[in-house]
Amino acid sequence: EVYLVESGGGLVQPGGSLRLSCAASGFTFSSYWMAWVRQAPGKGLVWVSHIYSDGSDSSYADSVKGRFTISRDNAKNTLYMQMNSLRAEDTAVYYCARIADTPAEIDFWGQGTLVTVSS
Amino acid sequence: QPLLTQSSSSSASLGSSVRLTCTLSSGHSAYTIAWHQQQPGKAPRYLMRLEVSGDFNKGTRIPDRFSGSSSGADRYLTISNLQSEDEADYYCETWDSDTQVFGTGTKVTVL
């Protein structure tokens, strides 16, 4: 069975940094594109970034471009998101997600980790 | 980049059926989409992939009550024999090589 388990969320001050991790199991991690999707309190789902299966390329939403960096370690079956220069509007639950094909829909979701940016 | 339009809410009685609509933007009417369910306080769950032809493929352990269909730029999710646990937000999603795009979601209330 597919499992995606996020960690690393928490409270951070504006301008601060945080690194999220997503541990994957139950499938061949190195064969799949992976994504981060966020959801601000009471709002809808918003794609943040995705990365190719081999880590050779990635894409970002305009709202995080230049501040967030997605990466992966296929030997550790782990996806990362380095978040710098955090703003109040980055406050959200961040979900790790598997992309079914290249490219395709998201077909598995993690349980999410909450990031709160506040002074 | 494709855009997806969903109505904000829908309601139906326990045991009845409800059909949700997701409309693709002009020039993107042939795109494949996916439907996701998000129950209150939970992570989203993948329901199905839905092609322009109306063919759909459901995710793991999705009940038979959930089905999909298509007409032009519209993609539908039908929930039959509505149950209390179907009260949730439903999001459609599409994609290209550079991005995933979500609709704004439809809140389904079971009366």
- A40 and chain B in contact, CB less than 8 A: no
- With a pLDDT cut of 70, the percent of chain B lying above it is 100
CA dihedral B10, B51, A56, A61 (to 10 degrees): -30
Owner of token pair 């309190």: A41
pLDDT, mean of residues B61-76: 97
A–B interface: beta-carbon pairs under 8 A: 63
Residues 6+ apart with CB under 8 A from A74: A29, A30, A54, A55
Paired residues of A58 in beta bridges: A51
> Would the CB atoms of B34 and A107 count as touching at under 8 Å?
yes
Contact status of B91 with chain A (Cβ, < 8 Å) = yes
Mean model confidence pLDDT for chain A = 97
pLDDT at residue A119, rounded to an integer: 96
Instruction: Give the per-residue pLDDT at B96.
Output: 85
What is the C-alpha separation between A115 and B9, in angstroms, rounded? 28
Using the beta-carbon criterion (under 8 Å), do A47 and B46 form an inter-chain contact?
A: no
Q: Are the beta carbons of B46 and A108 separated by less than 8 Å?
A: yes
User: What percentage of chain A exceeds 90 in pLDDT?
Assistant: 97
Contact criterion met (CB < 8 Å) for A105 and B98: no
Task: Tell me the HSE value of A31 on the side-chain side, using a 13 A CA sphere.
Answer: 6
Residue of B nearest to A110 (CA): B43
List CB contacts (< 8 A) between A111 and chain B. 43
pLDDT for position A102:
77
Q: Is the pLDDT of residue A101 over 90?
A: no
Mean pLDDT of B39-64: 97
Q: Cβ distance B18 to B111 under 8 Å?
A: no
Buried b (16+ CB within 10 A) or exposed e, A3-17: ebebebbeebeeeee
Q: Of A6, A38, A105, which to mutate for an interface test with B (greatest number of B Cβ within 10 Å)?
A: A105
